Structure 1
């Protein structure tokens, strides 16, 4: 039994029929001449890709938040250092 290779465009269109147009796997299988097993595999690969992509997006959002928070805390620290220096000079003058 030889394995037939399908283009990514073909796979995407088959998956689109299921996900976006609500067709059943059996219908798409018959229409495109692909086994149901292959369709389920393609769906599984797409889901794992989307999950990985979503995870990377949430990680990058967290990274942006943490950088913003670091900048704010650093500014606060610098202000407190300047205030401490100012008040230390005021105390020495008295």
Structure 2
């Protein structure tokens, strides 16, 4: 398994061969000596639907962040409820 690094221009041109010129992923893979897995990843990153994927990933990251924040705030609320009940009981 090789860890070759390819410039973005090379990746974009490979994606264009697949999307614009209609070549198959397997064909481009053989001609450029690149794995099909890499080509599919490049199509996802640089292809025509890349902007939609990017916005979807950003939305998923925001949703994950908000869920984490909600969990933290819920835990803080529960702790404050318990503390308020404890101090109310102590003041009696």
Count, aligned residues: 60
Match of 1:68 in 2: 79
Q: Which has the higher contact order (CA 8 A, sep 6+)?
A: 2
Match of 1:14 in 2: none
- List alignment gaps of at least 5 residues for structure 2: 1-6, 16-38
Detail structure 1 runs of 4+ shifted over 4 Å in the superposition: 23-26
Please list the CA deviations of residues 11-61 of structure 1 after superposition, one character each: whole Å capped at 9, or x if unmatched: xxxxxxxxxxxx759836724373633122111111101101110110110
- List alignment gaps of at least 5 residues for structure 1: 1-22, 82-94
Q: Which has the larger radius of gyration?
A: 1
Match of 2:60 in 1: 49
TM-score scaled to structure 1, two decimals? 0.51
Match of 1:13 in 2: none
SS at match of 1:37: coil
TM-score scaled to structure 2, two decimals? 0.52
Match of 1:37 in 2: 48
Shift of 1:75: 0.0
CA RMSD in angstroms, aligned pairs only: 2.9
